[in-house]
Amino acid sequence: MRRPGAHIAGCRIVPLELSALPQARTVLLLVDLINPMQFDGAEQLSAPAVKAAAAVAALKRDAAARGVPAVYVNDNFGHWRSDFHGLVTLCRRLRGTSGTLARMLAPHARDFTVLKPRHSGFHATPLGFLLERMGTRHLVITGLATDLCVQFTAMDAFLRGYSLWVPADCTAAESPARQQAALKWMALALKSHIRPSRSSGS
């Protein structure tokens, strides 16, 4: 019988190093920032997305220096045979915003990745299990779009008892009105902090 926490290599069962997961009370989530930008509204989102990505890159560097892990929570964009690193490679080769985002926010070997089939990073994904194993209680949620996948992910995180920070400068929407409405709602309904990363000292 196969033991939990083991995988088969040839004919030999090798224990997985589950203890290698870092313990982290706070985790940084990057939602849909590796993105082919092939959808209605992508043109309106492009400039705000690049601006937000610059802030996310700076926040991610600061988080890494503090020992805060990063988890890329990315849509599979309906490609059911896709993998995250293949998506990164594809986006890096694309011109325009997609390539810019992928180059600015290329993942490091230490980062974690989760592919999601729908809007929320928690729906039908192992994200909840990963965060539980790391002992996480606080989430910093960044990415695209503020009023869609970021908001859905924040909603599910709130329902699971996480405290939230959604830095206003690290998210983007297709219009300033949608951006502000989503941030205001998350602050009110989800008790999320929405202060910008660049003025927080965090």
Give residue-wise pLDDT tens across range 144-196. Answer: 999 999 999 999 999 999 999 999 999 999 999 999 999 999 999 999 999 99
- The pLDDT value recorded for residue 14 is 46
Instruction: Return d(Cα 79, Cα 87) in angstroms, integer.
Output: 10
- Of 145, 44, 52, the closest CA to residue 104 belongs to 52
Percent of the chain with pLDDT over 70: 86
164 compared with 198, residue with greater pLDDT: 164
Residue 29: is its pLDDT beyond 70?
yes
- Is 71 within 8 Å of 130 (Cβ atoms)? yes
Between 151-159 and 176-189, two packed helices, what is the crossing angle to 10 degrees?
A: 0
pLDDT digits (tens, 9 = 90+) for 71-98: 999 987 766 667 888 889 989 999 999 9
Phi, psi of 185 (to 5 degrees): -65, -45
- The pLDDT value recorded for residue 1 is 47
Handedness of CA 128, 181, 49, 171 (dihedral sign): negative
180 compared with 7, residue with greater pLDDT: 180
Q: What domains lie within the chain, and their CATH numbers?
A: 28-199 (3.40.50.850)
- The pLDDT value recorded for residue 11 is 43
Chain centre to alpha carbon of residue 192:
16
Confidence of residue 115 (pLDDT cuts 50, 70, 90): very high
- The pLDDT value recorded for residue 8 is 43
Q: What is the residue-wise DSSP string for 33-45?
A: -S----STTHHHH
Instruction: Return d(Cα 10, Cα 1) in angstroms, integer.
Output: 16
Average pLDDT over residues 8-21: 53
- Is 77 within 8 Å of 119 (Cβ atoms)? no
Chain centre to alpha carbon of residue 151:
12
Average pLDDT over residues 107-114: 95
